[in-house]
Amino acid sequence: MMPSRFQSYKSFFKQLTLAVVLLTTLPILMGAKKEYTVPVEGLDSALRKPHRIPIKRMFPDKPKFATLKKSPDRTYTMDRPKPLKRQTWWTIPKELKNKAFACQFNKQHVIVVDKEKGGALVAQWMIDQLNEREARNLPTTFGLATGSSPIPVYENLVKAFREQKFKTDNLSTINLDEYIGLEPGDSNSYKQFMRQHLIADLELTDDQFHIFDSQAQSENDPEIQRLQKLLTQNPRHFQLLGIGENGHIGFNEPDDTLSAETPTRIVKLTESTRKANAPYFGGDTTKVPTHARTLGPKDILHAERIVVLAWGEKKKAAIANSILGPIKPQVPASLLQKHLNVVWVMDAEAAATLFKQGGRVTREMARQFPTLFQTPEK
Ligand code: PGA
């Protein structure tokens, strides 16, 4: 009996599928592709310039893929996967409509929102990322900051944790910086700050919460090496930052030698930073330590996503210089322009100069944030 027309179509498609499967898998099975395909989670894909780092540091866990080439010194070079686009990974929930404004300046995402709502928004992004990774059974590392800026975020994280909106079993945190020379348990140390505002409430153990020790510096500083190792073992999926009035991030102060390659190290604090932090030390600048340990720009920029928080008009000049100005060591936060995945979250006061200099004021923005666009008194 002649096969029906339907049957011959069916067998043709069967053969076609088989041919496609064979053509795509055979070269791989036969080792024709001498490249290594390994998981990439952010890290380098977040940076513009391709560069070489040891494979273990780059790829601790799964999904996305990139092609790596092995070189004789046993390091791997990652071919930059396709031209990278800045990602819009953040979302603004409906309830913030008309209460938050998102825009781009100099290709960087800026969200203008008041401090309380901004805290809730950023906390939600962190929870979403944590839960999304948790669902894939992946551990998550958050890079955290101290100071007044992240407090609304921490309050919202604590509230959500109490409401069982997320679990912390697979979460670890690494803090940006710490003073040098404070007694263990000193209430001004950033370790205590973190315990008080977040760590205790999220029930994170000492194995999950990492920060530099505030002990005095010793030779070869093993403390820097210890943190550096932790950074290598736990690439950060999210990095929270504040910004200093002088444009510092972490304790990376304006300094002619600062660059995107500056490593994690001990730094001397500037007088302006010591003065800005004096209120925590009873208003006495002389009590503020002179040195600190800080993640360098190199490590900060290795985080997959970065959010910078800024509240209040004291930050407006630093914000404008960092976002609109050229990348330069005298404005450390301008180095963030090298990262593809930064969102600046600030209130109208902090955004004032940015909007004036950026020249992108729309009627809609003016309606939402009238204070932004008042002409300064003469
Ligand atoms: P602040 O400090 O959050 O207390 O304003 C930020 C910083 O100096 O980095």
Does 152 contact ligand 1 (Cβ within 6 A)?
Answer: no
Helix ranges, the chain (H): 5-29, 55-58, 115-135, 151-162, 190-194, 222-233, 271-277, 297-300, 316-324, 348-358, 363-368
Q: Report the pLDDT value the prediction gives residue 355, as an integer from 0 to 100.
A: 76
In the predicted model, what is the mean pLDDT of residues 205-230? 89
Report the alpha-carbon distance of residue 52 to residue 58 in Å, rounded.
10
Q: What is the pLDDT of residue 209?
A: 98
Ligand 1 atom closest to the Cα of residue 241 is 9
End-to-end CA distance of the chain: 98
Cβ of 147 below 6 Å from ligand 1: yes
How does residue 298 score in pLDDT terms, banded at 50, 70 and 90? very high
Nearest CA to ligand 1 atom 2: 147
For 302, the token pair is 């290795």
Residue whose tokens read 């989670």: 41
- The tokens for 37 are 């395909």
The active-site residue out of 109, 248, 302, 339 is 248
Residue-level pLDDT at 27: 56
Q: Which of 156, 175, 246, 321 is catalytic?
A: 246
**Ligand 1 site-directed mutation target among 149, 281, 306, 349, most atoms within 8 Å of CB:** 149
d(CA 185, CA 18): 67
Categorize the per-residue pLDDT at 199 as very low, low, confident or very high, splitting at 50, 70 and 90: very high
User: Coil, strand or helix: which one is 267?
Assistant: strand
- Mean of the pLDDT values across residues 366-377? 48
Distance CA 242, CA 345 (A): 10
Burial (CB count within 10 angstroms: exposed 0-12, middle 13-18, buried 19+), residue 243: buried
Give me the helix-helix angle, 115-135 and 151-162, nearest 10°: 50
**Upper half-sphere CA count for residue 357 (Cβ side, 13 Å):** 17
For the chain, what percent of residues have pLDDT higher than 70? 74
From 333, 295, 301, select the one nearest 178 (Cα to Cα).
Answer: 295
Cα(120)–Cα(316) distance, integer angstroms: 22
pLDDT tens digits, one per residue of 304-356: 899 999 999 999 999 999 998 999 999 999 999 998 888 899 998 898 888 77
Among 297, 329, 300, 360, CA closest to 110: 360
Q: Which atom of ligand 1 is nearest to the CA of 149?
A: 3
Look at residue 97 in the predicted model and tell me its pLDDT.
65
User: How far, in Å, CA of 352 to CA of 374, rounded?
Assistant: 9
Residue 3: is its pLDDT beyond 80?
A: no
Residue 104, pLDDT > 80, answer no
List pLDDT tens digits, range 120-132: 999 999 999 999 8
**Ligand 1 centroid – CA 149 distance (Å):** 6
CA of 179 to the centre of ligand 1 (A): 14
pLDDT for 171 beyond 70: yes
Nearest to 44 by CA among 177, 235, 231: 235
Give pLDDT, residue 73: 46
Whether the CB of 118 sits within 6 Å of ligand 1: no
